[in-house]
Amino acid sequence: MEIFNELFSKYNYLERSKKPSITIEDIESTVNFKLPLDYISYLQKYLGFEGFIGKEYLQLWDIDELLETNRDYGIFQNLPKTLAIGGNGNGEFIAIESADQGNYRVVLSPFIDLNSQSHIEVGTSFTNFLNRLDNGHEWFK
């Protein structure tokens, strides 16, 4: 988690000062899978984020926006085992997809085509995803 915290410090992520109104349990019961521990740590400690990491623009939604935003975009209805966590500002959302038994991947997918066939893996974990961006990895390379 030290690398995780260094990364957030580098990009000036704002730390949470108030307890969120949505709980991790609320989210997990809605998506029907346990969230990855690194993402839980992020949600509990930081607010949403908007800005560049490396060469890529990134929006990460705050915990209090997650459920409503996913419902509004139809993520839950169309993509079981997927929780959209933000976007790239170019018509694609970033999501955590539960593969099986505690295995996850972070994916980029178009809002317009809510089909898991359109998912592009951009990380093997939330931390891996952020580190890849920080190291200059681009969305479509």
The pLDDT of residue 7 is above 90: no
What's the pLDDT band for 136 if we cut at 50, 70, 90?
A: confident
| Long-range contact set of residues 14-23: C-beta below 8 Å, sequence gap at least 24 | 14/46, 14/47, 14/49, 15/45, 15/46, 15/47, 16/44, 16/45, 16/46, 16/47, 20/44, 20/62, 20/63, 20/64, 21/64, 22/63, 22/64, 22/66, 22/67
Q: Are 134 and 54 in contact (CB under 8 A)?
A: yes
Query: What does DSSP say about strands 82-87 and 92-100: parallel, antiparallel, or unpaired?
Result: antiparallel
pLDDT in tens, 103-124: 899 999 999 888 888 888 999 9
The pLDDT of residue 1 is above 60: no
**Which residue type is seen at 129?**
F
- Neighbouring residues of 19: CB distance < 8 A, sequence distance ≥ 6: none
Going from the N-terminus, what domains does the chain have, and what CATH number goes with each? 2-134 (3.40.1580.10)
Pick the more confident residue, 60 or 7: 60
How confident is the model over 133-140, as a mean pLDDT? 83
pLDDT in tens, 14-55: 888 899 999 999 999 999 999 999 999 999 988 999 999 999
How confident is the model over 69-89, as a mean pLDDT? 95
Give the pLDDT of residue 4.
66
Residue 45 burial by Cβ neighbours in a 10 Å radius (0-12, 13-18, 19+): middle
Give the pLDDT of residue 102.
78
